[in-house]
Amino acid sequence: MALLLRTQFWIIRNWLARMSYSSVFKSLGFGLITALFLLLLNGGFVRLLAEVRQVQLIGDLLIMKLVSLAFLSTFLMLVFSATLTTLTTLFLSKDLSIFMHAPLSFRSVFMFKSLQTVVFSSWMVILTLSPFLAAYRQIYRLGASFVLFLTLTMVPFVLIACGIGIALGLLLMRWMPTRRARDILIFLATLIGCGLYVLIRLMEPEKLIKADNFEILMQYINLLEAPTAPYLPSWWLTSAVTAFLSGRTAEMISTGALLAVVAIALGALLLWAAERFYYAGWTASQEGQRRDKKTPLGNEWAFIPPLPPPIKALLGKDSLLFFRDTNQWAQLMIVLALMAFYLISVSKIPMDTPYLKNLISFLNIGMISFVLSAIGLRFVFPAISLEGRSWWVLRSAPIETGRIVLIKFLTGAVPLALCGLLMAGASSFLLRVDRFFLLLNVSTVAVMSLTLAALGTGLGALFPRFHVENINQIETSPGGMLYMVFSLFYIGLTLSLEALIVRPYYFRLIQSPQSVPLTLPGSFWGLFLVFNGILVAISLFFGQRHLGRMDA
């Protein structure tokens, strides 16, 4: 184990030592953008929590509920992320063939790979949670002792969540060892994960913002005080944090100790299970999947419309790879759950006043485009990187990189636009918006989905990662983070621009509803299309230029 850790340290040290000035500069740039983004998020959370805290009687209870929901979702995300990461790190990672043939105990390899799993699956989740926790610390003016306590309790919390994920991965590979079965089970695991996600959504947290829905306030207070999933470590962590806030030392120690004991016990259980299942699971995972279907020669891309042969072949190849890679199905299920989650939320939003109705109808554009950017991160951004080590096939073939980038853009833009239009249409129907907002929603989302697809393709080409072992490493790369940051800025900018036409419309609607034109001004649309056209062109141009000049 010490040897493996030392090797890992050497790899990192050599990588740092070999960084060129441009790489250092680039990394600093990424760091700065990420820090800015986290600071912005933190600012938003501080405002939110400060306002919630001002609610008389129940402000602190509401915050506690929010903290428990944040920990619960973090816990579920960690479990899910660790399950998927385990399949790569513990079973399919390339260095395993070296480790398994070396005179190392399986226990050491398992422990080392488990540690990698914990790091890979948790860093992004923790980073996303940190602005919220920092805001919590700020509004309660907690000192360094809180940071220390939170760090100490977060460690076993993360270990438990990842430990459960590793155990699930281990069991999946033990019971269904071939890669085909593994893929099917990834699919099922995702389904369950998504089901849980939707289930949480059905717990109706929106009730938290509508205290007047309750006949008496006490009922509401009872709801707030009730533990959120009391048997899960997320609730133990919430209890520890609230105990710290109230200065209940005994409870702090007992909940902290509970987290630590469970983490240690789970670790011991995992080692026991690994002794029995790990090696068998690893050897079985080396098998490839078999196919029985025989496609007649010449009909390989028959499902693609008539197009020039190279384009048809590339589209056909990408489609086949997408549907055969069930990791992509897992991603697809997450997207469907995300869309379902959004539409269920929309259907449950209370629309008591015209003001609220119009505000929600307008913000709907922002929410849909946020969901689209998340879909873009999962499907469009990784498209170039997913060529992987086979990239030489296209790079040495007589086809322009510009054309490859364009094909990747189109294969991303069409499904993204369909998703966007579906969500815009369905949410407009659920919100019962007027014709003005229907037109605004549908047309804006259609254009934005194309721009987001171009942004994803362009940045995916600017920051390709051909040598990764799983798609999560592409999404969580600096390029992926940059895509999310740019997307959010773009969405914010678009909403700010559209507010210029929505505001006068809204005021005229209040003053004389009959005289309001229900169409969108042409000049606005002209400018909007030009702005988006420029963004699309810039993204694709720089992406293809970089890809064409890059050493393969």
Partner 1 sequence: MIETVSLTKRFQSVTAVDGLNLTVTPGEIFGLLGPNGSGKTTTLKLLTGLLRPSSGCALIGGIDIQKDPLNVKRMIGYVPDQPYVYPLLTGQEYLRLIGDLYHSPIETQRRRIPELLSLFDLQDRAHELVETYSHGMRQKLVLAGVLLHEPKVILMDEPMVGLDPKSIRLLKSVLGRLAQDGVTLLLSTHILEFAEKLCHRIGILQNGRLTYIGTPDDLQKKACLQGSLEDVFLKLTAESGDVAPSL
Question: Nearer to partner 1 by C-beta: 100 or 171?
Answer: 100
Alpha helices in 349-434 (DSSP H): 354-379, 391-395, 401-431
Question: Nearer to partner 1 by C-beta: 225 or 400?
Answer: 400
Instruction: Please report the DSSP string for 427-456 in residue order.
Output: HHHHHT--HHHHHHHHHHHHHHHHHHHHHH
> Which residues lie closer than 8 Å to 331 by C-beta, 6 or more apart?
378, 379, 471
- Integer-rounded Cα Rg, in Å, for the chain is 25
Contact 177, 257 (CB under 8 A): no
Q: Which SS3 state, helix, strand or coil, does residue 328 take?
A: helix
In whole angstroms, the minimum distance from the beta carbon of 236 to partner 1 comes to: 43
In whole angstroms, the minimum distance from the beta carbon of 404 to partner 1 comes to: 10
Question: Nearer to partner 1 by C-beta: 47 or 467?
Answer: 467
Q: How far apart are CA 551 and CA 424, in angstroms?
A: 42
In whole angstroms, the minimum distance from the beta carbon of 91 to partner 1 comes to: 14
Question: Nearer to partner 1 by C-beta: 164 or 468?
Answer: 468
Question: Nearer to partner 1 by C-beta: 17 or 216?
Answer: 17
Q: How far apart are CA 253 and CA 234, in angstroms?
A: 16
Phi/psi of residue 390, nearest 5 degrees: -85, 5
Question: Nearer to partner 1 by C-beta: 301 or 436?
Answer: 301
In whole angstroms, the minimum distance from the beta carbon of 399 to partner 1 comes to: 6
Question: Nearer to partner 1 by C-beta: 12 or 393?
Answer: 393
Question: Nearer to partner 1 by C-beta: 272 or 323?
Answer: 323
In whole angstroms, the minimum distance from the beta carbon of 121 to partner 1 comes to: 24
Question: Nearer to partner 1 by C-beta: 179 or 408?
Answer: 179
Q: How far apart are CA 112 and CA 2, in angstroms?
A: 9
Instruction: Please report the DSSP string for 110-179 in residue order.
Output: HHHHHHHHHHHHHHHHHHHHHHHHHHHHHHTT--HHHHHHHHHHHHHHHHHHHHHHHHHHHHHHHHS-SH
- Could you tell me how far CA 416 lies from the centroid of its own chain? 16
Contact 479, 459 (CB under 8 A): yes
Phi/psi of residue 498, nearest 5 degrees: -70, -25
In whole angstroms, the minimum distance from the beta carbon of 180 to partner 1 comes to: 10
In whole angstroms, the minimum distance from the beta carbon of 179 to partner 1 comes to: 8
Question: Nearer to partner 1 by C-beta: 366 or 388?
Answer: 388
Residues engaged in binding partner 1 (CB under 8 A): 18, 20, 179, 288-291, 293-295, 297-298, 300-301, 309-310, 312-314, 316-317, 320-321, 324-325, 388-390, 392-400, 549, 551-552
In whole angstroms, the minimum distance from the beta carbon of 110 to partner 1 comes to: 25
In whole angstroms, the minimum distance from the beta carbon of 209 to partner 1 comes to: 46
Contact 452, 487 (CB under 8 A): yes
| 421, 426, 427, 432 alpha-carbon torsion, rounded to 10° | 120
In whole angstroms, the minimum distance from the beta carbon of 396 to partner 1 comes to: 5
